[in-house]
């Protein structure tokens, strides 16, 4: 599984600039995933490529961030550390063939509706007023948007991105007042059922043991890891 490519394509920055095999990505500063360098392969001029990346983000008023996945060239992580880049957000890629079944109460649409966005942002809105940019990222590729609703209010949400025979699962979020009711599980199973089953993957922070336990119980196991280097 090419996790670098899958994650890059499923959560697409709306501004992308190639540089010597790398991709500089920008989406208004919303999420590191869409506002970081994807350093796949070793450029001909490594110091020059790092300098170009730093200039790209400086021009946009953003910190220079590198996404350090399996495709990152050997030695880059150590070079960035030497330059004072901090290691942040160690993340797991989990993959498997999970269970899927339509669940009563789970609504699935092909575009995020306002209440879906509000629920997701209420849980994952770490970027202040960036909801408009986040919605633009979501709309960058075809996807399904699922929510477990009560009285028209989404209590748990998720996003499924069909990528060939693989389903990418993103934006899993449950309102704090609705947790420990199995609603996240219902959303996950609904998305898998909508895709017709088959292999799937998701990403989860290394410190989120609760979410990892849920995903393991649904058939996911650790398939890879990545982290970020932030200047």
Q: Does one domain contain both 193 and 104?
A: yes
Q: What angle do CA 140, 160, 127 make, to 5 degrees?
A: 60
Question: Can you tell me the mean pLDDT for 219-230?
Answer: 96
**Mean pLDDT, to the nearest integer, of 30-59?**
95
Q: Which of 29-33, 38-42, 49-53, 174-178 bottoms out in mean pLDDT, i.e. has the lowest?
A: 29-33
- Tell me which residue of 36, 69, 66, 9 sits closest to 224, measured CA to CA: 69
Q: Is it the case that residue 152 has pLDDT exceeding 70?
A: yes
158-184 mean pLDDT: 95
- 57 within a domain of the structure (yes/no): yes
DSSP code of 110? S
What share of the chain has pLDDT > 70, as a percent? Answer: 98
220-230 vs 86-96, strand pairing mode: antiparallel
204 within some domain: no
Whether 205 is in a domain gets the answer: no
Query: Of 90, 121, 146, which closes a domain?
Result: 90
Residue-wise pLDDT for 84-135, tens only, equals: 999 999 999 999 999 888 888 899 999 999 999 999 988 876 656 677 888 8
Beta bridge partners of residue 205, listed in sequence order: 91
187 and 111 both lie in a single domain: yes
105 and 86 inside one domain: no
Identify whether 208 is part of a domain: no
pLDDT digits (tens, 9 = 90+) for 177-212: 989 899 999 999 999 999 999 999 999 999 999 999
Q: Cα separations (Å) of 66 from 19, 38, 84, 190, 228?
A: 14, 7, 13, 33, 5
Domains of the chain: total? 2
The pLDDT score that the predictor gives to residue 131 is 79
Q: What is the pLDDT of residue 127?
A: 56
CATH classification of the domain holding 110 = 3.40.630.30
Compute how many other C-beta atoms are within 10 angstroms of the C-beta atom of residue 176: 7
Return the pLDDT at 29: 85
Q: Whole-angstrom Cα distance, residue 209 to residue 171?
A: 17
Q: Is residue 135 situated within a structural domain?
A: yes
Query: Is 110 in the same domain as 187?
Result: yes
Question: Longest Cα pair distance anywhere in the chain, in angstroms?
Answer: 57
Is 55 in the same domain as 126? no
Does the predicted model carry a pTM greater than 0.85?
A: yes
pLDDT value of residue 166: 97
Average pLDDT over residues 223-231: 96
Q: Which domain holds residue 74?
A: 3-90
Average pLDDT, the chain: 93
Same domain flag for 150 and 81:
no
């Amino acid at each position: 599984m090419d996790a670098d490519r899958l994650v890059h394509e499923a959560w697409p920055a709306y501004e992308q600039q190639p540089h010597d095999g790398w991709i500089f990505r920008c989406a208004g500063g919303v999420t590191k995933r869409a506002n970081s360098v994807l350093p796949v392969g070793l450029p001909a001029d490594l110091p020059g490529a790092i300098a170009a990346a730093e200039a790209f983000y400086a021009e946009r008023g953003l910190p220079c961030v590198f996404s350090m996945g399996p495709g990152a060239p050997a030695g880059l992580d150590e070079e960035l550390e030497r330059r004072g880049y901090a290691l942040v957000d160690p993340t797991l890629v989990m993959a498997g063939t999970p269970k899927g079944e339509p669940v009563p109460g789970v609504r699935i649409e092909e575009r995020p509706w306002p209440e879906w966005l509000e629920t997701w942002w209420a849980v994952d809105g770490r970027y202040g007023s960036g909801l408009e940019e986040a919605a633009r990222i979501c709309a960058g590729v075809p996807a399904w948007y699922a929510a477990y609703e009560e009285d028209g209010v989404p209590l748990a949400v998720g996003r499924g991105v069909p990528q060939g025979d693989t389903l990418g699962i993103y934006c899993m979020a449950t309102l704090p007042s609705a947790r420990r009711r199995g609603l996240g599980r219902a959303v996950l199973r609904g998305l898998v059922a909508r895709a017709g089953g088959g292999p799937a993957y998701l990403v989860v922070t290394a410190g989120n043991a609760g979410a990892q336990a849920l995903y393991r119980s649904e058939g996911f196991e650790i398939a890879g890891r990545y982290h970020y280097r932030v200047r």
